[in-house]
Amino acid sequence: MSDTILVVNCGSSSLKVALFDLNLNQLTSALAERLGKQDAFASVPGYSGDIPLAGEGGHREAFQAIVSTFRDLNLLTSPPVAIGHRVVHGGETFREAALINDDVRRAIEECAGLAPLHNPVNLTGIEATTELFPEAPQVAVFDTAFHQTLPRHAYLYAVPYRFYRDWGVRRYGFHGTSHNFMATEAARLLGKVPGETSIISAHLGNGCSITAIRDGRSVDTSMGLTPLEGLVMGTRSGDIDPGLFDFLKTKEISAEDLHRILNNESGLLGLSEKTNDMRTLSELAEQGHEPSLVAIEVFCFRLARYISAMMASLSELDALVFTGGIGENSAMVRIRTLSHLKLAGFAIEPSLNQQHGKQTNGRIDREDSRFKVMVIPTNEERVIASEALQTSGAIRQR
């Protein structure tokens, strides 16, 4: 098989590598987890068992092992025509995807202070790919780029202005590729032009964020300087009162502890004291487990509050769109959330909600709903593949 696009998504301790054909059909997708730890592993569909990782079992070794398995399985018989990398932070430098060269690499490095767990591993992914495919064009697709159209009143925090001027402290927003895809896909399903379509896009996975998109451009979003702000997430708190920092000093919780607690031990997991997994929580709540029910209630209420907050940035709303593992699959979360928004005029048709809008081009709203409500599956890897193909110019050169 030839003519493929490779997508590389390096998380802080994980790696996803996906392969697409030029029509953007996904051919395969491999995963490596717990990288850098003793029990690191990688798995590729079609290869039985885990693939052994050489050396320290880091991102580089995992990438090499996965590519070599793709080759063994005849999935990659020649170098990819383009390679797309998910890069978490593009700061204020990148407003769109960029063809990777030395300047782009340097700029990604300069943004690392804003995403210390992610940008350095993203660069490792780029290096590892360059070693194996030195001739293939590589494109960086930034989580933050889509949100660079935020107006000043939405991106500034009310802290001393020098924090922004001297250190770049502002709202950047994340999940940009997914929200951008929602805007394009919603427009297509509604028979509209993306540049004339306004939506609220709720990406609800392990990480959750919501974005107001006005005429195809991001104008407000819930994640901020870091992906910790905003909605309740699997293990992240989302919004809290910054006064908590002072209060916890009296409880001898250090800044380091607090970072861990807010990122890894809060959200659905923290409230339920059981799990960060919405599917399990739903089952537990149904069986009468009160803390799981509480976690779901807080999750849905915060989301509803944010949906109304996003309306402050729009003058019309073509659709409210749900996506991500929870947004796509949990009829219960959608109905609970919108039950808080009756005053705003949102109403869901229960039967469409149960079938996830699959038979109605994503639509799940009731006839008398003031706004359309849609469920659209996201595929961040596919968007990255598409951007890699366009930005690399690989098609034009052929």
- Count of CB atoms situated within 10 Å of the CB of 214: 19
What would the two tokens of residue 133 be? 């495919």
Binding of ligand ADP at residue 33 (CB under 6 A)?
no
The closest alpha carbon to 76, from 132, 144, 115, belongs to: 132
DSSP H or E segment with residue 354: helix 350-354
User: Of 102-110, 179-187, 201-209, 250-258, which segment contacts ligand ADP by CB under 6 A?
Assistant: 201-209
251 token code pair: 């409880």
Catalytic residue among 143, 220, 318, 365: 143
Residues of span 252-311 touching ligand ADP by CB under 6 A: 277-279, 282
Q: CB neighbours of 396 closer than 8 A, spacing ≥ 6?
A: none
Which residue number places its CB atom closest to ligand ADP?
325
Tell me which of 4, 129, 222, 330 binds ligand ADP, using CB under 6 A: 330
Asked if 84 interacts with ligand ADP (CB under 6 A), we say no
Q: With binding defined as CB under 6 A, does residue 329 bind ligand ADP?
A: yes
Quick check: 198 binds ligand ADP (CB under 6 A)? no
Question: Do the bridges between strand 138-142 and strand 373-375 make them parallel or antiparallel, or are there none, so unpaired?
Answer: unpaired
Residue 50 interacts with ligand ADP (CB under 6 A): yes or no: no
Q: 116, 199, 104: which is closest to 142 by C-alpha?
A: 104
d(CA 8, CA 322): 25
Binding ligand ADP (rule: CB under 6 A), the pick from 205, 227, 230, 238 is: 205
| Residue 178 in contact with ligand ADP, rule: CB under 6 A | no
325 binds ligand ADP (CB under 6 A): yes
Residue 173 binds ligand ADP (CB under 6 A)? no
235 counts as binding ligand ADP under rule CB under 6 A: no
Paired tokens of 271: 């409230």
Is residue 247 left, alpha or beta, with left meaning phi > 0 and alpha meaning psi from -120 to 50?
alpha
**The amino acid at 145:** A
Q: Which of 64, 130, 149, 206 binds ligand ADP (CB under 6 A)?
A: 206
Interface positions with ligand ADP (CB under 6 A): 205-207, 234, 277-279, 282, 324-326, 329-330
- Residues with active-site annotation: 143
